[in-house]
Amino acid sequence: MKSIINLNSLKAVLFFFILCGFLSSPLSLTGAAIEENGILSPGYGYSDDYYRGYGEPNISISVIGNTEFERGEKATLQVNLVNRGIPYGFSPSKRLSAAKQDQHLISVKELDYESRKTIAVGLKTSLYSKSNYVEIDSDSRTHSIEKLVPGERLEDPLEFGIKISNNAPAGEYILELPISYQYQSSARMTNRNIDLLGLPELDHTTHYNNVEKTIHVPIVIKKTPKFEITEVTSFQDLVPGSSQKLNVTYKNIGEKTAYDSVLRKIAIVPLSTNRATTYIGTMEPGQEKTVTFDIEADSDALEKLYAINSEIRYLDEDDELKFSDTLKIDVEVEETRTQLSLIILAFIGIIVVGVYMVINVIRNLDHYK
């Protein structure tokens, strides 16, 4: 009975030391310490460290293609990740005995494992914009990469969908690309104590550090002409079956000059215009030009607010043909006043006839007197 108690006590003590070995692992100090074969790295009591390696991954980016975009543009931003990490060297952590050849062979093997500390593993990244003028597509915002070896680029660049607002001011915008990954902080060779854990084939343990960094991605929104309607003036009311002369003032609120500008108008039934296009010429930044044209409403037009679409076609400073955003002209068809006038005339006529009859009756009464 006494031997059984002693055996159980021995097992309990052994379990306690094994547990302490796990808790003393760098996992509690450095974050995730994951062995390459998927198990948690045992504590330092089950391994020996012969060398200390120096160096870590150095992740940077390169943007592929043009980083200049126009207002209203939908585009794909391609970003490549590059690992420029360099191992700086090694220093011995444990003095070796010249008589122990097996320790020397083990230490050389550890050097190979230590050389892997500049590899970035488990990379995760997302692209964000702090400006309301630049929107990142949520479906392509996040990417994951298994690992990135020093000197390598991604075979397939990361692609992010972006959309530029029509109202975005020209200039530089900074997008943020947070990146998280792990790298090997230490490799240690296992000793005989590893048999206590039932892992005799595990020849080394690997411990990892976590890294989080944010890389800035600059993009530029180009300076271009941009137009808006500043004033709409009509000379008379527009009622069904009539026409109206309209003055519309356009202003170039952009940063660049528009050359050979042509205004194009699209009226939707029941409205029509006397001409579809009007040449307005060169428009400098801040310059206004007024265009006059006739609007006609069909006789069966309903009394409500209509919109005429207009756009300006122009040449930019590189002689490339461009088109403005659609500029809407509000036109109101008002209620016809013809029926109301007839009613008023009829009412006046009734009053006149009534007055005449009253006067006539008074005259007849005077006659009989």
**pLDDT tens sequence across 72-109:** 999 999 999 999 998 888 777 766 655 466 677 777 88
Tell me how far the alpha carbon of residue 157 is from its chain's centroid: 17
pLDDT band per the 50, 70, 90 thresholds, residue 23: very low
pLDDT at 68 over 60: yes
Nearest-CA neighbor of 119 among 85, 145, 142, 68? 85
What tokens does 48 get? 């020996």
Whole-prediction pTM: 0.70
pLDDT at 1 over 50: no
The mean pLDDT value for 291-319 works out to 92
Backbone phi, psi, residue 183, to 5°:
-145, 155
pLDDT band per the 50, 70, 90 thresholds, residue 3: very low
Q: Name which of 106-115, 119-128, 255-264, 323-332 the model is least confident about.
A: 106-115
C-alpha to C-alpha distance for 39 and 107, rounded to whole angstroms: 23
C-alpha to C-alpha distance for 2 and 218, rounded to whole angstroms: 76
CB 11 within 8 A of CB 32: no
pLDDT at 224 over 50: yes
C-alpha to C-alpha distance for 216 and 184, rounded to whole angstroms: 25
C-alpha to C-alpha distance for 60 and 83, rounded to whole angstroms: 6
The mean pLDDT value for 303-329 works out to 94
The mean pLDDT value for 197-209 works out to 79
pLDDT band per the 50, 70, 90 thresholds, residue 201: confident
